């Protein structure tokens, strides 16, 4: 039977078919590996592509969405490429093969997360919508369900694209919290993860993507562990220190929970792009070097502020945070925290080099509340761009002391009954600001003081001997000359010369109840241009396929530099959120935003300051609801499977599987091009997958080119819409 071609026509009843679901219950390592890609950021130099940065990534949709680290794909001093090459594993036992070019759809510098979309063939030809073959992808899990000691599988490429995709196993050893949203900012693990696997995927035991392994090499690329020479970029025929050093970072132990990427993913899946039209051009990066100061510890965090300031902690401590002020930070800044106990590094609580997640200046905290801190003397040291930026020590151990203490500062105004009213952190313009705080173990006669700051400059100070009771709550107030101006304020409370409590508040807007009126006249409009939108009548519903809807609002006494948040939701799910300093005049009207090509859905725009929602407005497009699983569903079924020898059970390599057009039966098949719907070829393990989907409820026949096997005598099969993924196993009998 050598060189004999024959057709094997398969009835669905003769095959084992396993439907893929969106929530796999068993770990499928091969599926995880197939969803893992290798990404080159490159630049055309003298008609040759020079690699600038590399990373792993994960396909998260069948239509070519990829999630990875932002630092390796966005242009920067260290990564100044302008093209992104995506390599896929055609054979899981072989290195990846460059297949496509991608574009950045959305990114968050601070979170170090980017969502890419495959847009072109490798040769640069644009891929029309619907023409990209269906790609294997990872299902997204719930990172909020992750707990200490949970098992992790990390997937990525262990070298510079020269080795096959690999996995590393480990457990979650710690959570690290920073002020960047709800839930942990980082998972820690001791898994052995090479730097080139940064940007790949971290999976739970069910095979669901729950995080992105993340590490950032330093911007100054001295030869060493953080970069590699991989190509002759200067044309001298040698690969050495005279060539471009590609940053790869050190071993990765930090994982960004997928929760922080959900809004970016949701926006990309629905093709949603938001634009701040009224925002001025981005300011230039700070010229002065980054710095930190005022390092201190707190046992817990209340709305981003320390509950109290401590110099030691007792036995069984399970919550501890380092606070510090920072200035002149940039998105490219790399920062690191090392924690040592009794002179020995404690890797559980340390944070290896990562990109800066905050703004240019402000108050930051980093710590943990889920792990026990062993007794000992701890030293926390911060590194900024590789240089020691400051350190602070604290002792954990012993019994809880009865030291004098202030805690839990909140701000507001006093009503006619001298009761504090307000939201605790934002005050409207006025003459007086008040603060309430708790105090414990305060003996009469102990010295204490309160210092008020505006914009970092002291505006008021009181110093006295304590005359109140030993425990309770106290209200103090400040009345600066000229009244309260818009901007950022701070209160520091000292006991006997030592800082005991501190918190910040913002003054902005007009008095209007518990929340000041900072934003007003929030509305939506349809128009041909932003200028026309400012004159258009407000509307709350819009037709399907509208090119853009505009959102506009007025603002009042909002000082430059004040952080504010814009949050846009579709069907009550956030798809766009950004927190930036206010960069325009203090008061004005018709700040304009645009949402381009919105699909049918219910949209809600929210404006926040200090994490407090101040105003929101809704609008609907079309039927007011997104199609179910938009861009995650397919117009057909994805067929993959395995061809194996029925006697040995081994996969049969290099077999071509042919889908025959529904217009022909098996007996009519003559290997003509017009009869062939699609081709797939089995790999060395006998696995195959068709690149294009099969139409639902359409009869197909399958032909297999093989030598030495007995054909099956069967005919057509179909797929239904409730079976969008199918995996078949074909047992071949030798004859």
pLDDT digits (tens, 9 = 90+) for 349-364: 999 889 899 989 999 9
Q: What percent of the chain has pLDDT over 90?
A: 56
Residue 5 has a pLDDT of 31
pLDDT digits (tens, 9 = 90+) for 281-320: 556 667 789 999 999 999 999 989 999 999 999 999 999 9
Residue 150 in this model has a pLDDT that exceeds 60: yes
Residue 157 has a pLDDT of 93
Residue with tokens 């262990």: 158
Return the top range by mean pLDDT from 129-133, 250-254, 505-509.
Answer: 505-509
Q: Average the pLDDT over 70-92 and give the result.
A: 89
Q: Are residues 49 and 152 in the same domain?
A: yes
Q: Are residues 467 and 614 in the same domain?
A: no
Kindly indicate the confidence band of residue 145, based on its pLDDT and cuts at 50, 70 and 90.
very high
Residue 229 has a pLDDT of 58
284 located within any domain:
no
Residue 167 buriedness (CB in 10 A; 0-12 / 13-18 / 19+): buried
Among 693, 719, 717, residue whose Cα is nearest residue 636: 693
Q: Where are the beta strands (DSSP E) in 582-654?
A: 588-596, 601-609, 612-621, 638-645
286 located within any domain:
no
pTM beyond 0.85, yes or no: no
Residue 155 has a pLDDT of 95
Kindly indicate the confidence band of residue 225, based on its pLDDT and cuts at 50, 70 and 90.
very low
Kindly indicate the confidence band of residue 227, based on its pLDDT and cuts at 50, 70 and 90.
low
414 located within any domain:
yes
Residue 130 in this model has a pLDDT that exceeds 90: no
Q: What CATH number did the domain enclosing 132 receive? A: 2.40.10.120
d(CA 40, CA 349): 32
Fill in the DSSP letter of residue 261.
Answer: G
Residue with tokens 């509340």: 369
Residue 80 has a pLDDT of 86
Q: Are residues 210 and 96 in the same domain?
A: yes
d(CA 412, CA 419): 9
**What radius of gyration, in Å, describes the C-alpha atoms of the chain?**
30
d(CA 310, CA 409): 15
The pairing of beta strand 638-645 with beta strand 725-734: parallel
Residue 234 has a pLDDT of 60
Q: Are residues 123 and 198 in the same domain?
A: yes
Residue 698 buriedness (CB in 10 A; 0-12 / 13-18 / 19+): middle
Q: Are residues 144 and 67 in the same domain?
A: yes
Domain final residue pick, 455, 479, 507: 507
280 located within any domain:
no
d(CA 315, CA 397): 4
436 located within any domain:
yes
Residue 13 in this model has a pLDDT that exceeds 50: no
4 located within any domain:
no
Return the top range by mean pLDDT from 94-98, 131-135, 490-494.
Answer: 490-494
Residue 440 CA, distance from chain mean position = 41
d(CA 183, CA 260): 9
Q: Average the pLDDT over 647-656 and give the result.
A: 85
Kindly indicate the confidence band of residue 267, based on its pLDDT and cuts at 50, 70 and 90.
very high
Residue 242 in this model has a pLDDT that exceeds 90: no
C-beta separation of 154 from 202 below 8 A = yes
Domain final residue pick, 570, 602, 621: 621
Residue 404 in this model has a pLDDT that exceeds 70: yes
Kindly indicate the confidence band of residue 406, based on its pLDDT and cuts at 50, 70 and 90.
very high
Among 522, 681, 534, 692, residue whose Cα is nearest residue 608: 522
Q: Are residues 670 and 717 in the same domain?
A: yes
Q: How many domains does the chain have?
A: 5
Residue 237 has a pLDDT of 61
Kindly indicate the confidence band of residue 646, based on its pLDDT and cuts at 50, 70 and 90.
confident
Q: What CATH number did the domain enclosing 728 receive? A: 2.60.40.1120
Map residue 291 onto helix, strand or coil: strand
276 located within any domain:
no
C-beta separation of 443 from 456 below 8 A = no
Residue 401 in this model has a pLDDT that exceeds 50: yes
Any idea which of 320-324, 483-487, 643-647 has the lowest mean pLDDT?
643-647
Q: Average the pLDDT over 8-16 and give the result.
A: 31
Residue 634 has a pLDDT of 43
Q: Are residues 522 and 500 in the same domain?
A: no
Residue 658 in this model has a pLDDT that exceeds 90: no
Q: Are residues 389 and 480 in the same domain?
A: no
Q: Average the pLDDT over 108-129 and give the result.
A: 92
Residue 440 in this model has a pLDDT that exceeds 80: yes
Phi first, then psi: give them for residue 213, nearest 5 degrees: -60, 130
Q: Average the pLDDT over 49-57 and give the result.
A: 89
Residue 287 has a pLDDT of 79
Q: Are residues 124 and 215 in the same domain?
A: yes
Kindly indicate the confidence band of residue 223, based on its pLDDT and cuts at 50, 70 and 90.
very low
Residue 724 has a pLDDT of 58
Kindly indicate the confidence band of residue 280, based on its pLDDT and cuts at 50, 70 and 90.
low
pLDDT digits (tens, 9 = 90+) for 671-685: 676 777 777 778 778
Mean pLDDT estimate for the chain: 85
Residue 243 has a pLDDT of 60
Residue 239 in this model has a pLDDT that exceeds 70: no
More confident residue, 58 or 674: 58
Break the chain down into helix, strand, coil percent, rounded to 5.
Answer: 5, 50, 45
C-beta separation of 404 from 443 below 8 A = yes
Residue 524 has a pLDDT of 97
Residue 62 in this model has a pLDDT that exceeds 90: no
Residue 14 has a pLDDT of 28
Range of the domain at 306: 291-396
Helix (H) or strand (E) holding 469: none
Kindly indicate the confidence band of residue 3, based on its pLDDT and cuts at 50, 70 and 90.
very low
Residue 9 has a pLDDT of 33
Q: Are residues 667 and 689 in the same domain?
A: yes
Q: Give me the torsion for CA of 190, 191, 192, 193, rounded to 10°.
A: -110
Q: Are residues 534 and 585 in the same domain?
A: yes
Residue 592 has a pLDDT of 96
Residue 700 in this model has a pLDDT that exceeds 80: no
Q: What CATH number did the domain enclosing 469 receive? A: 2.60.40.2550
Domain final residue pick, 621, 650, 669: 621
Residue 683 has a pLDDT of 78
334 located within any domain:
yes
Q: What CATH number did the domain enclosing 349 receive? A: 2.60.40.10
Any idea which of 72-81, 548-557, 722-731 has the lowest mean pLDDT?
722-731
Kindly indicate the confidence band of residue 233, based on its pLDDT and cuts at 50, 70 and 90.
low
Q: What percent of the chain has pLDDT over 70?
A: 85
Q: Are residues 233 and 334 in the same domain?
A: no
Kindly indicate the confidence band of residue 238, based on its pLDDT and cuts at 50, 70 and 90.
low
C-beta separation of 198 from 39 below 8 A = no
């Amino acid at each position: 039977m050598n060189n004999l071609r024959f057709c094997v026509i398969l009835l669905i009843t003769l095959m084992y078919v396993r439907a893929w679901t969106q929530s796999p219950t068993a770990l499928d390592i091969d599926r995880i590996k197939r969803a893992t890609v290798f990404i080159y950021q490159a630049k055309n130099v003298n008609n040759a592509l020079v690699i600038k940065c590399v990373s792993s990534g994960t396909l998260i949709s069948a239509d070519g969405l990829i999630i990875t680290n932002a630092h390796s794909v966005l242009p920067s001093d260290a990564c100044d490429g302008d093209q992104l090459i995506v390599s896929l594993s055609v054979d899981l036992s072989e290195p990846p093969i460059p297949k496509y070019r991608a574009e950045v759809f959305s990114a968050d510098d601070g979170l170090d997360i980017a969502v890419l979309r495959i847009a072109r063939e490798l040769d640069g030809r644009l891929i029309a919508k619907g023409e990209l073959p269906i790609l294997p992808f990872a299902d997204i899990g719930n990172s909020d369900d992750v707990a200490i000691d949970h098992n992790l599988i990390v997937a990525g490429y262990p070298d510079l694209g020269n080795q096959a995709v690999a996995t590393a196993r480990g457990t979650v050893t710690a959570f690290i919290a920073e002020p960047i949203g709800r839930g942990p900012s980082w998972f820690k693990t001791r898994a052995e993860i090479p730097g080139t696997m940064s940007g790949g995927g971290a999976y739970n035991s069910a095979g669901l993507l729950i995080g992105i392994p993340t590490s950032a090499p330093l911007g100054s690329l001295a030869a060493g562990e953080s970069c590699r020479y991989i190509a002759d970029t200067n044309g001298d025929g040698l690969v050495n220190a005279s060539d471009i050093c590609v940053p790869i970072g050190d071993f990765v132990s930090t994982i960004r929970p997928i929760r922080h990427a959900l809004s970016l993913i949701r926006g990309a899946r629905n093709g949603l792009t938001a634009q701040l039209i009224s925002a001025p051009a981005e300011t230039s990066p700070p010229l002065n070097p980054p710095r930190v100061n005022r390092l201190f510890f707190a046992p817990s965090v209340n709305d981003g502020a320390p509950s109290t300031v401590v110099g030691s902690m007792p036995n069984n401590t399970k919550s501890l945070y380092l606070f510090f002020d920072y200035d002149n930070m940039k998105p490219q800044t790399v920062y690191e925290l090392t924690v040592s106990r009794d002179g020995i590094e404690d890797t559980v609580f340390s944070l290896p080099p990562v990109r800066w997640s905050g703004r240019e200046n402000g108050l930051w905290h980093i710590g943990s509340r889920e792990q026990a801190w062993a007794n000992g003397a701890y030293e926390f040291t911060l590194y900024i761009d590789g240089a020691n930026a400051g350190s602070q020590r604290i002792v954990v151990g012993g019994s809880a002391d009865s030291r004098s203490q202030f805690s839990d500062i909140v701000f507001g105004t006093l009503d006619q009954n001298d009761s504090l009213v307000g939201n605790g952190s934002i005050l409207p313009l006025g003459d007086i600001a008040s603060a309430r705080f708790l105090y414990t173990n305060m003996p009469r006669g102990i010295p204490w003081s309160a210092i008020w700051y505006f914009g970092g400059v002291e505006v008021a100070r009181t110093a006295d001997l304590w005359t109140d009771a030993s425990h309770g709550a106290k209200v103090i107030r400040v009345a600066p000359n000229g009244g309260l101006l818009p901007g950022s304020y701070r209160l520091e409370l000292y006991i006997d010369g030592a800082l005991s409590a501190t918190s910040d508040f913002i003054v902005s807007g007009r008095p209007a109840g518990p929340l000041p009126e900072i934003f007003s006249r929030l509305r939506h409009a349809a128009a041909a241009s932003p200028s026309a939108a400012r004159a258009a009548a407000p509307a709350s519903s819009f037709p399907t396929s509208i090119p853009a809807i505009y959102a506009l609002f007025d603002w009042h006494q909002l000082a430059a530099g004040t952080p504010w948040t814009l949050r846009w939701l579709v069907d009550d799910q956030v798809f766009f959120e950004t927190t930036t300093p206010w960069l325009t005049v203090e008061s004005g009207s018709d700040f304009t935003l645009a949402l381009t090509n919105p699909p049918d859905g219910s949209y809600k725009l929210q404006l926040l300051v200090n994490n407090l929602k101040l105003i929101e407005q809704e609008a609907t497009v079309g039927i007011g609801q997104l199609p179910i699983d938009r861009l995650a569903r397919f117009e057909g079924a994805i067929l993959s499977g395995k061809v194996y020898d029925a006697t040995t059970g081994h996969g049969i390599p290099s077999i071509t599987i042919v889908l025959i057009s529904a217009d022909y039966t098996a007996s009519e098949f003559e290997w003509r091009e017009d009869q062939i719907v699609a081709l797939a070829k089995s790999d060395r393990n006998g696995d195959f997958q068709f690149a294009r989907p099969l139409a639902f409820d359409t009869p197909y026949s399958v032909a297999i080119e093989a030598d030495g096997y007995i054909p099956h005598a069967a005919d057509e099969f179909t797929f239904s819409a409730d079976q969008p993924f199918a995996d078949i196993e074909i047992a071949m009998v030798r004859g």
